[in-house]
Amino acid sequence: MMPRSVPSWVLALLVALSSPANARQPAPRAVSNGELPIVSPDGKRLAFLSNRGGHQDVFVIAADGTGETQLTNTPEEEGNPGWTTDGKRVLFSVFANDASRLYSIDPKGRNLLQIATIPGRGLALSPDGKRLVYMAGTWTAMRLMLSSLDGSNAKQINNGTSIAWNVHWSPDAKRLAFTGRPPDSSDGLAVFVMNADGSGRRQVTHLAPAEGRAQWPVWSPDGRELAIQANDLEARSCHIWIVDASTGGARKLAAHGEPYLDETPSWFPDGKRIAFQSNRTGRMEVWVMNTDGSGQRQVTGLGK
């Protein structure tokens, strides 16, 4: 399953574009030593992105912070890291000229294969590896498209009149979670869930405005909960939350009042830990914590 890359610097731009009342420009992009971690199916490794070399490339590291390997080294901006279901290959995409090229590569950086070219961005591969959901259109009027792996049989599954970002498949491939806009808000964000055919759309998160904008929903291994992030752009702060997918009940992890970001959660297969990105030490790195917020541990950039 492949997540959609909308880190906080991009979010600031998207909110500015989608809200006439928010005309601020985002700060220049900082160097990220580790971001967008995705846990392997066996829980032993993390795929992640870094622009430490001047371009965004794909890396793999053991969950204990050892054995880091750079998989790509190109002038292109790789995105959407992920894993095949068997954990034998790492997935990523490159967006250019209004199309995304989907690739796979082995965890040692060998045997690069191009899987598909899709007329959109934010590719989300279904758990069975047979279908894609991707985004097409403008950032503020986003069409979600469902297609076969090669891009054929494409079908629009939403009305395409508002935002629809960060789409993630449920483990059983029957539902999709995504970031949308509440009907009573001009600039807020909330997490929505719908069936994979676009039916049954409903808002899951109802966080107080002071908690920030809810986004980046990732399903727990049992499909009962969603890990999300909630960004407060004014305070430059972000927290990870766990949300019950049925009731909307939510709890905040590792609460803090400092201007740093905990973002882009990814579940371990045991459902007991989450990998995430954080700049709490001054530079964006990959971290791991338990799902009760305890045991926070840095994974990338150790000893540097």
Give the pLDDT confidence score for residue 34 in this predicted structure: 97
Which region holds residue 53: left if phi is over 0, alpha if psi is between -120 and 50, else beta?
alpha
Report pLDDT digits (tens) over 231-277. Answer: 998 889 999 999 999 999 999 999 999 999 999 999 999 999 999 99
pLDDT at position 13 over 50: no
Give 142: exposed, middle or buried? Use CB within 10 Å, 0-12, 13-18, 19+. Answer: buried
- Domains of the chain, by residue range, sit at 8-298
Model confidence at 65, in pLDDT bands (50, 70, 90)?
Answer: very high
pLDDT over 90, % of the chain: 84
Give the pLDDT confidence score for residue 233 in this predicted structure: 84
Model confidence at 187, in pLDDT bands (50, 70, 90)?
Answer: confident
Q: Of the candidates 224, 217, 296, 302, which has an alpha carbon nearest to the alpha carbon of residue 260?
A: 296
Q: What is the mean pLDDT of the chain?
A: 90
Model confidence at 30, in pLDDT bands (50, 70, 90)?
Answer: confident
pLDDT at position 5 over 60: no
pTM: 0.90
Model confidence at 19, in pLDDT bands (50, 70, 90)?
Answer: very low
131 membership: H or E segment, kind and range: strand 131-138
Give the pLDDT confidence score for residue 298 in this predicted structure: 98
Residue 112 and residue 230: Cα distance in Å, rounded?
A: 35
CATH number of this structure's domain 8-298, picked from the four choices 1.10.287.610, 1.10.10.10, 3.90.550.10, 2.120.10.30: 2.120.10.30
Residue 141 and residue 185: Cα distance in Å, rounded?
A: 15
Give the pLDDT confidence score for residue 11 in this predicted structure: 45
Model confidence at 141, in pLDDT bands (50, 70, 90)?
Answer: very high
